[in-house]
Structure 1
Amino acid sequence: MSGRRASALMIGALAITQTAGYGILYYAFSVFITPMSRDLHAGVAEITGAITVAVLVSALVAPAVGRRLDRRGGRGLMTAGAVLGAAAVLAWSQVQSVLQLYLVCAALGVASAMVLYEAAFAVIVAWFDAARRARALLAVTVVAGFASSIFLPLTGLLVERYGWRQALVILAAGYALAAVPLHALAVRSRPTPPHAGRREIVGAALRERPFWLLAAAFLTQTGAVAVMGVLLVTYLIALGHRPVFAATVAGLLGVLSVTGRLVTTGLQARWRVSLITAAMFAMQGAAALLLPLVGRSTAGAVGSVVLFGLGFGVGTIARPALLADRYGTAAYGSLSGALALPITVAKALAPLIAAGMAQAAGYGVVMGAVAACCGLGALSLVAYDRRGRTRPASGHEHVR
């Protein structure tokens, strides 16, 4: 198989598996909360805590997964992760207690670290040269950006027709049939020998300021995005909007995230990724400040959400681009895993902290905190751009 054909096949396969993976291993959980709460005789908070466990576990195993990706490539790891993910969803259908649900979600967290964006991006970064990498990342994330739009209503229909347990069995079978063979057959392993100086690359990165500026930028913005993703519907209702309107407007975030990724990738031909991303983060901060001021009107609410949503998925494609551009590809998985640990923890905990802030001080304070986090992310990227343009001696590029 030619390199070009293999590359196209891999991108198509990853677009499918990322869409199914996020849809089934993450987004579908929200549809099951109510029926599980009833059948397991547990509160909504107890049930919801299970997905937090999954996210935290995925963060904890991310560094180890990254190192494994650097050493062996992604084919075996992602195939095994797909098997584990399907088995965990199948086991989920049989849980009889909250403890069993938490154990299943811990397994889902491990599987997620092995098969979702961090792993897929490591495969893409290792396989494509810098000229083609941005388009490859964009292709995968544009398709996967519709995961919630596809799998939330699909899961709802399955639950309504078959019940939540049978719905999970169907989803497990579907994920196994799609992800296992696609990962096994289409994912390409690292096309060049392992880099002997990988540990030195990682050690040097962890000792320098630009790496920690990247960490600060994406940690703060990821926390802000997680808060908006979880609390936006509730806040719009608190502002006086009807629940259907609030849910519809919040649903724009998924579509807008795709739009923002397309815009960001298009602008990379003229401006540096760090500055484009900083501008997007700053725009999100402005939107969070505007929402309490103009959000009671329909136009104000929609306009604020549109501004915030354009930056909703930008960090997803900017982080691998910035990491690979500065540090090369030889240790990308290890560095990405090191970044993913604090960033994913922020994603898991920020909504819980924000919910407490909203109860104690109101949603206006929460929006102020979201704006501050986005602003800090933007400033960190501007500082990175000033200090981080000179690329250190690092891994070589792999050209395909």
Structure 2
Amino acid sequence: MIAGRVVAALSASQLIGWGATFYVVGVFGDRIVADTGWSRSLVHAGFSLALLVMGFASPAIGRAIDRAGGRNVMVAGSLASTLGLLALATAHHLVHWFAAWVVLGVAMRMTLYDACFAALVRIDPATARRAITTVTLSGGLASTVFWFIGEALADRLGWRGATVVFAGFTFLTLPLHLAIPKVGAPDAAPAGGIPPRPLAPPLATTPEEARAAAILFGIVAVATSVLASALAAHLIPLMVALGMAVPVAVTVSSLRGVGQSAARLAEFASGGRTHPLDLTLFACLLLPATLAFAPFAGISTAAALVFSIGGGCGNGVVTIARGAVPLVLFEPRVYGTVTGRIGAPAFWFSALAPFAVALVLDHGGPMAALVALAVPAIAAALAAFALRRRFRPAAIA
């Protein structure tokens, strides 16, 4: 059983971790451009570099959590996050800037959702899904909370001073990560002598099935990451290009986060009764279905709201599904290793997605950009359907 204090500590650490590291360039990007004189593309290239580093570090970090649990990895990630943000705050040259993002890339992989999910599974696979849903509720609020905090701090301290304060926030995650219990060997009983609740056998029972499951789930992870990354960078410009006024586009786009949080809250309230493969298919079907309303966003606010809020719902549920599906497909003892390998290409492609969509939007227009976005949306839906069709348990077939 995962203790409530551990879930509460990791919920707080995810709120801080996402807000203070992943969203830092989104909060301070314009101020950084104005202060340094660097181009916007160079400033944001640092964040893309961090995503690439996350991909390269992902397999090793996943294996480390499988071997020894998440405590030491996430504690080290707290220190690396603090160091990376301090380096960012003092960067006056591009080499320094990019070096800081290399550190932050490793730190984010050691502290954000993938590491947190693996740490929870390592404690108790039987109750991990509920805990995973809980921590995503707070993580989903990170951009809203830290955008407000960051703007208030930057008005008083400048972006460099505000980033130093963000570094202080990440240092405060150190005791939160120390709340993660030390765990022994994967098959060992907990210290109290009470064995963990037994799990159903993994659905992928042979090496061939495990390979097929990893490929299909990897397609889901890559495709949904690409879509989320591209829309995070270009949703407002895309809405404007489709014909919406800027204030309306900003308002409608901001509601994507509301949809994301609402979907996660609904999953939490349901008590996790939906099978993870059903959950994945539902989420992945929402993505192309809501994207189909996007071409009409310029002439219909209702269509724009369906695209924004519905897409947010799909993305919110996909996050939970990415944590829950490996629990039913694979042996829990290799959860970190499997998700680390699958996560690597997802980070790489999500780093490239904003640049690719920007090129299509600039040279082909909004309709061409929507066609480009439809490719990963449809790929995710098809892979989720194939995964559900092949591995659904007979009891719920």
8 Å contact 2:260–2:316 — kept in the other structure?
Answer: yes
Q: Does 1:9 align with 2:12?
A: no
Partner of 1:341: 344
Q: 2:278 is matched with which residue?
A: 275
Quote the residue 1:77 is aligned against: 73
For the residues of structure 2 that align with 1:203 and 1:52, how far apart are their CA atoms? 37
Does residue 162 of structure 2 align to residue 159 of structure 1?
Answer: no
8 Å Cα contact 2:221-2:343 kept in structure 1? no
SS in 2 for 1:173: helix
1:373/1:264 Cα in 2 relative to 1: closer, same or farther (>3 Å)? Answer: farther
Q: How far off its partner does 1:361 sit?
A: 1.4
Residue-by-residue CA offset, 1:289-340 (whole Å, 9 max, x unaligned): 2111244322221222121111122221102211011212101110010011
Picking from 323, 348, 351, the partner of 1:320 is 323
Aligned residue runs from structure 1 range 72-221, under 5 A: 72-130=68-126, 132-176=127-171, 178-184=172-178, 186-190=179-183, 192-193=185-186, 204=207, 208-221=211-224
1:251 equivalenced with 2:254 (yes/no): yes
Partner SS state of residue 340, structure 1: helix
State whether residues 298 and 304 of structure 2, in contact with CA within 8 Å, keep that contact through their aligned partners in structure 1.
Answer: yes
The CA deviation string for residues 115-172 of structure 1, in whole angstroms up to 9 with x for no partner, is: 1111100011122243x32211111000111000100121011111111111111111
1:388 is aligned with what amino acid?
F
Where 1:312 maps in the other structure, the secondary structure is: helix
- Specify whether residues 80 and 194 from structure 1 end up closer, same or farther in structure 2 by C-alpha distance, changes over 3 A only: farther
Q: Structure 1 pair 56/284, CA: closer, same or farther in 2 (3 Å)?
A: same
In structure 2, the CA distance between the partners of 1:134 and 1:43, relative to structure 1 (3 Å rule), is same
CA contact (8 A) 2:280 2:317 kept: yes
The alignment status of 1:38 with 2:31, answered yes or no, reads no
Report deviation, 1:41. Answer: 2.1
1:388 deviates by 2.3
- Compute the displacement of 1:343 (Å): 0.8
Q: 1:203 to 1:107 in 2, by over 3 A?
A: farther
The residue number in structure 1 matching 2:266 is 263
Aligned to 1:54: 50
Q: Look up the match of 2:201.
A: none
| Partner amino acid, structure 1, of 2:30 | T
Matched, 1:354 2:357: yes
Give the structure 2 partner of residue 198 of structure 1. none
CA contact (8 A) 1:135 1:265 kept: yes
Aligned equivalents of 1:327, 1:31: Cα separation in 2: 38
Is contact 2:239-2:297 (8 Å) kept?
A: no
In structure 2, how many angstroms separate the alpha carbons of the residues matched to 1:190 and 1:221? 32
Contact 2:27 2:147 (C-alpha < 8 Å) held by counterparts:
yes
Q: CA deviation at 1:173?
A: 1.4
1:28 is displaced (CA, Å) by 2.0
**What's the offset of the Cα at 1:270?**
5.3
Unaligned runs of 5+ in 2: 189-203
Could you list the structure 1 runs, at least 4 aligned residues long, displaced by more than 6 angstroms after superposition. Answer: none
Q: Which residue of 2 aligns with 1:68?
A: 64
Runs of 5+ unmatched residues, structure 1: 196-200, 392-400
**Matches of 1:74 and 1:268 in 2, distance apart?**
25
Flag the 1:206–1:116 CA change in 2: closer, same or farther, 3 A: farther
Query: Do the aligned residues in 2 keep the contact of 1:264 with 1:277 (CA within 8 Å)?
Result: no
TM-score, structure 1 as length reference: 0.89
- 8 Å CA contact 2:281–2:388 kept in 1: the answer is no
8 Å CA contact 2:242, 2:366 repeated in 1? no
2:149 corresponds to which letter in structure 1? L
Paired residues of 2:223 and 2:379 also in contact (CA < 8 A): yes
* Shift in CA distance, 34/382, structure 1 to aligned 2, threshold 3 Å: same
* Cα distance change on mapping 1:269 and 1:105 into 2, 3 Å: closer
For 1:202 and 1:71, the matched residues in 2 are separated by: 22
TM-superposed CA distance for 1:389, in Å, is 3.6
Residue 285 of structure 1 and its aligned partner are, at CA, apart by: 0.6
Between the aligned partners of 1:377 and 1:189, the Cα distance in structure 2 is 36
1:21 aligns to 2:24 (yes or no): no
Query: Structure 1 pair 129/72, CA: closer, same or farther in 2 (3 Å)?
Result: closer
Report the more deviating stretch, 240-249 or 86-95. 240-249
Map of 1:395 onto structure 2: none
* Alpha-carbon offset, residue 271 of structure 1: 4.2
Instruction: Give distance in 1, aligned partners of 2:357 and 2:154.
Output: 30
TM-score computed with the length of structure 2 as normaliser: 0.90
Matched letter for residue 304 of structure 2:
A
